[in-house]
Amino acid sequence: IIGGRTAHPGFFPWQLLMVVEDMSRVPKDKWFGSGALLSRTWVLTAAHVLRSQRRDNTITLVPSEYVTIYLGLHDVRQKEAAVKRTVERIILHKAFDPRTYNNDIALVKMKDKVSMNIFVMPLCLPSQEMEGPQPNTLGLVAGWGITNPNLTMDDATGSDHATLSNILQYVKLPVTLQAECKSSYESRSDSYNVTDNMFCAGFYEGGKDTCLGDSGGAFIMYNPDTQTWVAQGLVSWGGPEKCGSKRVYGVYTKISKYARWLADKMSNSS
Amino acid sequence: NITELTGMFGQIQSPNYPEGYPSDLDVTWNITVPTGFRIKLYFMHFDVEPSYLCEYDYVKVSSDDDLLETFCGRESTDTEQIPGREFVLTNSNTMTVTFKTDFSNEERFTGFEAHYSAIDVDECVEKLDEALVCDHFCHNYIGGYYCSCRYSYILHSDNRTCKVECSDNVFTEKSGVISSPDYPNPYPKSSDCLYRIELEEGYAISLQFADIFDLEDHPDILCPYDYLKIKTGVMEFGPFCGDKSPGKIDTNSSTVQILFHSDDSSDNQGWKFTFTSIGAPCPVVHPPANGTIEPVQEKYSFKDQVQIRCNTGFKFVKGGDEVEAYQIECQKSGIWSSSIPTCKVIDCGTPRSLEDGFITFHTKDNLTMFGSHIEYSCLALYYQMEPELNTTYTCMENGFWVNDELGTDLPTCQPVCGRPARSLPPLNKR
């Protein structure tokens, strides 16, 4: 999280850390992302978090046994105090495109249920009728990702932990006008494709953003009618520029587009 | 000088007829025709010496040692008869004609010429007065007769009386009427009837005889001709005869044999009775506590069934299973098939637990009996009930905890989403 603030324990009880250790590769790959708790067993995250880290366009799912989930976590150094769960099943959206990150959404079913408490609580999903977030409305994103935009993920997962935030950070971001976001990216390269399944958030001038390690975390918005926080987006991708750069908006998976898909998968798999 | 004649007809003449007959004659003609016939004899000519009481010459006609006629003379007088135009008819199928003359005749007498013929006997008419030749119908034919019977009767081996086939009549109904054939018209002769009433063991049969009771009897000997006997396995009633009804007979048996014998005579009205049966009585049953019985009767007897039900909220417990209703039956021994079970209050048992929820008992001592109420709740803050409704459950008579809206289904406690216990700092206006 770039330009964010330190969360207090219990601010984001749905926030979870997803650690992936790909033992099939030598040396083994290890990375992490975030996710959001949806129910006693289901977790929502971005598809690219659970994809084997190959630099090609194939979609190889990491085996479920390589994934560990930590819930109720505040300080990543105190994982033993968190609720730890292994994974029973991973459902990647079948239309996920690793080149464009279109349909970057996945569901993870944990092997064992979790009990709710002040630090562990699910996040609401938008209803199937609900539209995506409106431009200029504010949302929050939390994560344990890079806080220093000058470093890469490799640096972050290396021995120098100083650039990673051990404590959960969060940032408040406005939803970007879809046309502005598209033109922003398309002006830099034709290969960028901001689809209707995505929305952008961030400030024109930069300074506040999500970054490496925040992937899969929920972009949440407050619904005053139900007085609940609702997941509207998933941290998905951004440009190669430094996180928080001017006119480099963060791109998020638009969850409202997948409300029916989520409902079907969770009901059929329960 | 005897002449045997066996033809169906024939002629006899005095010796030397029509010349004068000799003296000292003693001539006999024995005429025999088949049975079923009689013999008719008539004279065409008769001229025999007359004498007082036919002491000199005469013609005697007899049958079966009975003297039928004695003729002599030329004409009938007060003391002597000539046949004239009359004929002699026997009652049987034999006739003997004897012609006797003495040693002298004062004049010449020409004798006689006679003819005989066999005459069919109409037994149906002639035997009407004798012991009723045929019981029902009589049919005459030349040389004999035969009898026949009304519908449903059969001719006895005596070929005269009509009897009925009534040797195996079985009654298995609990009540009914049995009577002698054709009652109250005369019962058949020469019959031996057997009626059996056979009921299931456990019933006792009673017979109630009708007032009209009429069987041939004897003033001195007990029922020598016709009689009625009632037999059970161990007892015998009767014989009954005469005109006094036996009234009511309680046999105390589930099987009864009625034997009726009639001889070949008499003309009596017979008998009739109504039989009823009652089962072995069982003790009066009383409903169990918190239960009812049906039907409620003053008396119960064999085969009666009583259904026992527990009041709402109570059930029988039999062999570990809860039973809705219970039925007992009065057995032939007079003992109910089973004792009356007790009604036990229904226990819905420990209610099912609710994941991430808890149960509140609304009755003292956390009772789970019929009528008890419980309420499901979810752990506050983190879970909410779904569906949101009154979650009170009542222990019903079917043994289940039932909610007005969900029935036996349980609500669920769903995690509350998007509502952290620790609120984020309020958004600041810029």
Q: What is the pLDDT of residues B29-60, one digit of tens each?
A: 999 999 989 999 999 999 999 999 999 999 99
| CA separation for the pair B255, B234 (Å, rounded) | 10
Tens place of pLDDT per residue across chain A (270 aa): 999 999 999 999 999 999 998 777 667 778 899 999 999 999 999 999 998 766 666 667 888 999 999 999 999 999 999 999 999 999 999 999 988 999 999 999 999 999 999 999 999 999 888 888 999 999 999 999 999 877 655 544 544 444 778 999 999 999 999 999 999 999 888 888 999 999 999 999 999 999 999 999 999 999 999 999 999 999 999 988 899 999 899 999 999 999 999 999 999 765
> With a CB-CB cutoff of 8 Å, which residues 166-185 of chain A face chain B?
172
Contact B419 A227 (CB under 8 A): yes
What is the model's pLDDT at position B293? 92
Question: Looking at residue A48, what DSSP letter applies?
Answer: G
User: Within an 8 Å CB–CB cutoff, is residue B380 touching chain A?
Assistant: no
Q: Would residue A74 show up in a list of annotated catalytic residues for this protein?
A: no
Residue B421 contacts A where some CB pair is shorter than 8 Å: yes
The DSSP symbol for A226 reads T
Q: In the block, which residue shows the tokens 């939390």?
A: A142
B392 C-beta neighbours (distance < 10 Å), count: 15
User: Residue A135: is it exposed, middle or buried by C-beta count within 10 angstroms (0-12/13-18/19+)?
Assistant: middle
Catalytic pick among A22, A34, A48, A245:
A48
- Which residues on chain A are in Cβ contact (under 8 Å) with B416? 116, 121-122
Shortest Cα distance, chain B CAs vs residue A14, angstroms: 8
- How high is the ipTM of this complex? 0.89
Distance from CA of A159 to the nearest CA of B (A): 33
Chain A partners within 8 Å of B419 (Cβ): 121, 227-229
CA distance linking residue B31 with residue B3, whole number of Å: 8
Write the residue in A11, A14, A229 that is nearest to B422 by C-beta: A11
Residue B215, pLDDT score: 92
Residue A48 is among the residues annotated as catalytic for this protein: yes
Strands B192-198 and B169-171: parallel
Query: From CA A165, how far away is CA A147, in angstroms rounded?
Result: 6
Any residues with CB less than 8 A from the CB of B55 and at least 6 apart, and which? none
Q: Do B421 and A121 touch (CB under 8 A)?
A: yes
Q: Do A121 and B379 touch (CB under 8 A)?
A: no
Task: Report yes or no: A203 at the B interface, CB cutoff 8 Å.
Answer: no
Confirm if B80 and B50 have CB atoms less than 8 A apart.
Answer: yes
A259 φ, ψ (degrees, to nearest 5): -60, -45
Taking CB atoms and an 8 Å cutoff, what residues of chain B touch A36?
A: none
Intra-chain end-to-end CA distance of chain A, in Å: 34
Comparing alpha-carbon positions, the chain A residue that sits nearest to B428 is: A172
Catalytic residue among A22, A104, A209, A214: A104
The DSSP H or E segment spanning A154 is helix A153-157
> Are the beta carbons of B422 and A10 separated by less than 8 Å?
yes
H or E element, residue A221: strand A218-223
Look at residues A142, A164, A170 and name the one whose alpha carbon lies nearest to residue A151: A164
What does DSSP say about strands B255-261 and B357-361: parallel, antiparallel, or unpaired? unpaired
Q: Determine if the peptide bond prior to A27 is cis (ω within 30°).
A: yes
A157 Cβ under 8 Å from any chain B Cβ: no
CA distance B419 to chain A (A): 5
Give, for B253, the enclosing helix (H) or strand (E): none
DSSP string across A53-112? --SSS---BPPGGGEEEEES-SBGGGGGGSEEEEEEEEEE-TT--TTT-TT--EEEEESS
Is B420 part of the contact surface with chain A (CB cutoff 8 Å)? yes
Contacts of A9 in chain B (CB under 8 A): 422
pLDDT, position A56: 64
Q: Which residue of A has its CA nearest to B421?
A: A118
CB-neighbour burial class of residue A61 (10 A; exposed 0-12, middle 13-18, buried 19+): middle
Query: Would you state the structure tokens that stand for residue B141, as one six-digit string?
Result: 């034919």
User: Which value, in Å, is the radius of gyration of the alpha carbons in chain B?
Assistant: 52
Residues of B in contact with A220 (CB under 8 A): 418
Give the one of A10, A125, A172 whose C-beta lies nearest to B420's C-beta. Answer: A10
Cross-chain residue pair B418–A14, CB shorter than 8 Å: yes
Closest CA to A194 of A246, A126, A252: A252
Q: Which residues contact B74 (CB under 8 A, 6 or more apart)?
A: B46, B47, B48, B50, B82
What is the rounded distance in angstroms from the CA atom of residue A6 to the CA atom of residue A2? 11
* Cβ-based contacts of B383 with chain A (< 8 Å): 116
Set A34, A52, A165, A215: catalytic member? A215
Query: What residues of chain B score a pLDDT lower than 70?
Result: 128-132, 425-430
Q: How far apart are CA B387 and CA B52, in angstroms?
A: 146
**A63: its two tokens:** 């085996």
Chain A residues within an 8 Å CB radius of B417: 14, 38, 121-125, 228
Residue from the list A118, A121, A230 with its beta carbon closest to the beta carbon of B415: A121
CB count in 10 Å sphere of residue B7: 12
